[in-house]
């Protein structure tokens, strides 16, 4: 994610306006329909099966507090601040002492727990957990509460578990509740040894701001750890499943791939803070939490309580990909921390590479990760995903409940890296992966910007290295997307394919907290995507970014899907992406306009594909003007088209229109029908509209 100088954008816009290429507010009034010829009899490049996909990164509480529906924050007391998310209840008959202890823990991996003590039995001897900006619970839904506990000295016989309305914002634990208790349960039979207890709780009312309260029954002490409150209603009803409304929004897009876990999360602020996939598999209770690299990145959205629990780990990512029919695309660290932060580098050892930058003796780097460490992690990941049950890492996948391989076909080496430090690590990394797995496809980085010296040098080098995919990212003002709809029209047809791995129009400026997911951004993205589709022989994958954001806990905006603790909605950008994905087609059809007119002339953009399974011709049209536009679509060479077709239309007179939690479907696609006359379609495009025309073959 990067910043384009506003002065540069202003100069470019002024120049284009003087040339007559960028319209002012006045609409283009056309005396005759604009003729668009679709050469149905000259199909071009195939559209990749996984052309339109998803980009997931744990930013904006996308994982904990979002897609991963655990309601207890810091359930194992393993964050740097061991009591993050927890508060003691203090009163006349409340808790006397509490400590974080590591005396005879559950395991070496989970070696901190909370010890509670009170001399007098009472209803306030305990702790509360605040959840992730509160806890979202629904009336009569079932939630599994579980805990590891053991009793200490005294007469503590058990625990009382209460789900209650949270106190009003900013109030301390001693102030009265703002609402009622929602559910209560008892944990009994504590012994002197660690044991897991569980009970199902059913709230009496719906609340988006509940909290969990644990109190001692009796005087004395007790130890608690791995405190969980997990909904039973998860995607596919899995015990450690995902939030179903969010997964459904993803599945409804028919995504071709799922990129994970990022994003800058891959790199980390330092290498110690990087994403390490091996730490995210196995028993959930043993996964060590780590501070999220986005917690303090933006001063305007400072979020010091943002950690990664890794309840959503690499196994769950692979499983999610399988569930929604998407190809998994893990992005792996190449031995570099984020170049915008520490830019820390892993040494290149002699076992990983030969050359002037290779360290003379691997022993000099004992105890610290070297490039070989990162290469081996990639090799092991492929075995984890695809290896047989009798392989070391394949066996771990099987033990987690997935005997069949995940059929991993591609990985990414590095995220938004650039310069010689990246290239000297990328080359031995890619070579080692190909030596072990020659059919594994590799996505390569060319930096965070779609232009500039670093981008140009990296692109040339990747072409020399015969890279398979180049990962380009675009964050810019809406006009950039409209102006660059022809970016790939004259791109070399041979060499690396383009992965448009991250893109989103920014309504104000890159990184601004005032950016909105408005129609101006979404329709401009739709215009840009006509160029991606027209050039599907070059651009073979594309994904909007970021994907998810909590309305009360975000760091970056815009985002494709927003949610709170109870509900979620797709932005207007989401519906543009969905229309492309659901109308992907199988082959590109050439689109021409009369004379010297080009795509984007008069702010009219078009692309077309044919869909082999149905025989449909699918035409996508963007009218970025304030008046209706009559178009005549000529289906050159078409045979036996149907008499009518379907149109899916998104349009708004107000470019600031957006969906919200309060109005989640303010602007969504509307379905219409239209007539087909022979091989011609006459259609009037609404002002500021994105339209998909599906013209069926005659049955």
DSSP state of 537: T
Task: Find tokens 């909007």 and name the residue.
Answer: 544
416 is catalytic: yes
| Axis crossing angle, helix 371-386 with helix 392-399, rounded to the nearest 10 | 50
Concatenated DSSP letters of 296-362: SS-GGG--TT-EE--SS-HHHHHHHHHHTT-EEEEEE--SB--TTTT--B--EETTT--STTEES-G
146 bridge partner residues: 198, 228
Task: Find tokens 């009360």 and name the residue.
Answer: 552
* Distance in angstroms (rounded) separating the CA atoms of residues 571 and 400: 35
* Distance in angstroms (rounded) separating the CA atoms of residues 270 and 490: 39
List the 97-101 sheet strands across, edge first. 97-101, 113-118, 220-231, 143-154, 195-201
Q: How many CB atoms lie within 10 A of CB 360?
A: 8
Q: Which position among 416, 468, 502, 533 bears the catalytic label?
A: 416
**Count of helix runs (H) and strand runs (E) in the chain:** 10, 36
What angle is formed at CA 673 by the lines to CA 672 and CA 675, rounded to 5 degrees? Answer: 150
* Distance in angstroms (rounded) separating the CA atoms of residues 153 and 164: 29
Concatenated DSSP letters of 346-415: --EETTT--STTEES-GGGGTTS--HHHHHHHHHHHHHHHH--TTSHHHHHHHHTT--S-----EEEE-S
* Distance in angstroms (rounded) separating the CA atoms of residues 594 and 597: 6
Active-site positions read: 416
């Amino acid at each position: 994610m990067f910043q384009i100088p506003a002065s540069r954008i202003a100069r470019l816009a002024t120049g284009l306006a003087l040339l007559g290429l960028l319209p002012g507010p006045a609409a283009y009034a056309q005396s005759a329909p604009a003729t668009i010829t679709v050469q149905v009899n000259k199909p071009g490049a195939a559209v990749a099966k996984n052309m339109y996909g998803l980009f997931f990164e744990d930013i904006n509480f996308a994982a904990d507090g979002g897609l991963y529906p655990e309601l207890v924050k810091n359930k194992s007391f393993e964050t740097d601040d061991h009591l993050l998310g927890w508060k003691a209840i203090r009163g006349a008959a409340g808790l006397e002492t509490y400590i974080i202890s590591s005396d005879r823990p559950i395991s070496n991996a989970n070696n901190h727990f909370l010890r509670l003590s009170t001399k007098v039995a009472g209803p306030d001897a305990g702790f509360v957990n605040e959840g992730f900006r509160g806890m979202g619970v629904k009336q009569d839904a079932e939630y599994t509460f579980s805990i590891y506990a053991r009793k200490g000295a005294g007469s503590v016989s058990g625990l009382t578990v209460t789900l209650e309305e949270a106190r009003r914002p900013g109030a301390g634990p001693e102030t009265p509740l703002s609402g009622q208790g929602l559910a209560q349960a008892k944990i009994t039979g504590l012994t002197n040894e660690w044991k897991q207890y569980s009970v199902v709780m059913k709230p009496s009312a719906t609340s988006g701001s509940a909290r969990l309260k644990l109190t001692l029954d009796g005087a004395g002490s007790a130890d608690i750890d791995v405190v969980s409150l997990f909904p039973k209603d998860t995607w596919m009803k899995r015990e450690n499943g995902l939030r179903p409304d969010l997964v459904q929004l993803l599945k409804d897009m028919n995504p071709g791939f799922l990129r994970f876990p990022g994003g800058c999360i891959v790199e980390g602020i330092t290498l110690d803070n990087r994403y390490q996939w091996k730490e995210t598999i196995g028993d959930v209770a043993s996964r060590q939490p780590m501070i999220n690299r986005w917690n303090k990145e933006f001063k305007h959205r400072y979020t010091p309580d943002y950690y990664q629990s890794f309840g959503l780990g690499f196994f769950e990512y692979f499983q999610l990909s399988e569930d929604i029919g998407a190809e998994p695309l893990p992005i792996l660290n190449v031995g570099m921390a984020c170049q915008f932060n520490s830019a820390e580098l892993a040494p290149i050892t002699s076992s990983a590479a030969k050359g002037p930058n290779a360290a003379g003796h691997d022993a000099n780097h004992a105890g610290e990760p070297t490039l070989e460490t990162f290469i081996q992690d990639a090799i092991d990941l492929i075995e984890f995903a695809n290896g047989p049950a009798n392989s070391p890492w394949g066996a771990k996948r099987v033990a987690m409940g997935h005997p069949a391989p995940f059929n991993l076909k591609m990985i990414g080496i590095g995220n938004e890296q650039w310069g010689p430090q990246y290239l000297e690590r990328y080359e031995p990394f890619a070579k080692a992966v190909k030596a072990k797995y020659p059919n594994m496809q590799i996505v390569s980085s060319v930096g965070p910007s779609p232009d500039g010296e670093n981008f140009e040098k990296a692109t040339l080098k990747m072409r020399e290295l015969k890279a398979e995919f180049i990962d380009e990212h675009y964050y810019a003002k809406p006009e950039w997307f409209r102006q660059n709809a022809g970016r790939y029209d004259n791109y070399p047809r041979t060499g690396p394919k383009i992965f448009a791995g991250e893109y989103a129009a920014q309504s104000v400026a890159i990184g601004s907290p005032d950016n909105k997911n408005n129609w101006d951004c979404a329709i401009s993205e739709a215009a840009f995507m006509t160029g991606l589709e027209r050039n599907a022989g070059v651009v073979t994958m594309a994904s909007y970014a970021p994907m998810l954001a909590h309305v009360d806990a975000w760091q970056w905006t815009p985002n494709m899907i927003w949610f709170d603790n109870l509900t979620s909605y797709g932005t207007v950008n989401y519906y543009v992406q969905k229309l492309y994905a659901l109308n992907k087609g199988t082959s590109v059809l050439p689109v021409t306009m009369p004379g010297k007119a080009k795509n984007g002339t008069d702010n009219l953009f078009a692309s077309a594909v044919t869909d082999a399974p149905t025989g449909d011709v699918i035409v996508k049209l963007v009218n970025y003007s304030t008046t209706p536009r009559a178009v005549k679509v000529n289906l050159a060479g078409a045979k036996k088209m149907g008499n009518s077709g379907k149109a899916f239309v998104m349009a708004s007179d107000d470019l600031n229109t957006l969906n919200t939690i309060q109005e989640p479907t303010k602007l969504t696609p509307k379905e219409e029908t239209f007539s087909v006359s022979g091989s011609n379609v006459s259609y009037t495009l609404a002002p500021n509209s994105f339209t998909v025309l599906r013209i069926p073959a005659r049955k």
